[in-house]
Copies of this chain bind each other. A is one copy, B any other.
């Protein structure tokens, strides 16, 4: 019998309807691996009404956050550094003081094993970033909600900005002792394994990858950008390099959760139209592709522009590292 720990939670953030799909798959993967913690979604006003009702179906708690309306402290800080808006959205997670400890996870992560042991770690615990391994990657991190910390983060951001324009630069500067002080705050890399690692050191992936806990779909091509063949239960490998095939298992896992558990909910709540927006239920049809709604596509484009502003070099970097993975 599982005992539910109600004062600890996994937290994710969705800034538009497209990322909500990732958040929903993440949530379902946590449940599939029998987490005993609560699961919380933060979402921004861009998320559609219908999608919000889907989030409410799956998450224990669903909270709208608005960068420009997040209280006096944020407002004051933002007045001088409006470009840090994207960064600040993630920082909102420190406001969830109804929980004593949380694990933040990006909406493009997928849980492959129970990871409740992460709650034994202290703030700020995270896995190394493969790009500059003395920095931690902010796709998965353990933290303690605290309004005090939240305000300090805002003030720090207003004073110092972020060296990469995003939350990762900000949080690494704020929690600057991560690389030198306490080995227990270094999560094993398998708790935030990015596809980059497969390309950059395949023998290590073959040696250690079997114990993967969380896969992080870092890069411009997200699982929802791929095409999926419902009959073979496999992502359609168009223009993929041989190295990409190592990553296919993870993509297929994501799509399996999506088609099995999430797509029916999206149809039910009218986010995806049954006949027009996907072809899943057409017998004999090979591909399950999601026809993107114009609105969602526009949102995603706007988001990518923001991301590129925040990470002027990241997009190019990731294009390089994910050579074989086509951006649709």
- Which residues of A approach B to under 8 Å, CB–CB? 127-135, 163-165, 169, 179-183, 186, 188-190, 196-197, 199-208, 243, 311, 313-314, 316-317, 320-321, 323
Contacts and interface: CB of A to CB of B under 8 A. Distances in A.
Nearest to A182: B183
B321 A201 contact: no
Nearest to A177: B183
Nearest to A188: B134
A188 B243 CA distance: 30
Copies of this chain, complex-wide, total: 2
Nearest to A173: B207
A182 to B, nearest CB: 6
In the A-B complex, list the 3 residue pairs whose CB atoms are closest, starting with the nearest: A131-B201, A132-B204, A164-B203
Chain B CB count within 10 A is highest, among A133, A165, A311, A313, for A133
Nearest to A162: B203
Contacts of A200: 130-132, 196, 317, 321
Nearest to A127: B133
A208 B200 CA distance: 22
A239 to B, nearest CB: 15
Given A130-B132, A179-B188, 18 more contacts: A127-B133, A128-B133, A128-B134, A130-B131, A131-B200, A132-B201, A132-B204, A133-B133, A163-B206, A165-B203, A169-B204, A169-B207, A179-B189, A180-B186, A201-B313, A201-B317, A203-B313, A320-B320
Nearest to A196: B200
7 contacts: A128-B128, A131-B197, A132-B201, A132-B205, A163-B207, A200-B321, A203-B313
A165 B201 CA distance: 12
A171 to B, nearest CB: 13
A323 B202 CA distance: 18
Contacts of A134: 128, 188-190, 208
Nearest to A201: B131
Nearest to A180: B183
A201 B135 contact: yes
Contacts of A314: 201
A142 to B, nearest CB: 16
Contacts of A169: 203-204, 207
B180 A188 contact: yes
Contacts of A186: 179-180, 183
Contacts of A207: 163-164, 169
A296 to B, nearest CB: 29
Contacts of A179: 186, 188-189
A30 B205 CA distance: 35
Residue of A188, A201, A313 with most partner-chain B CB within 10 A:
A201
A66 to B, nearest CB: 27
A128 B178 CA distance: 14
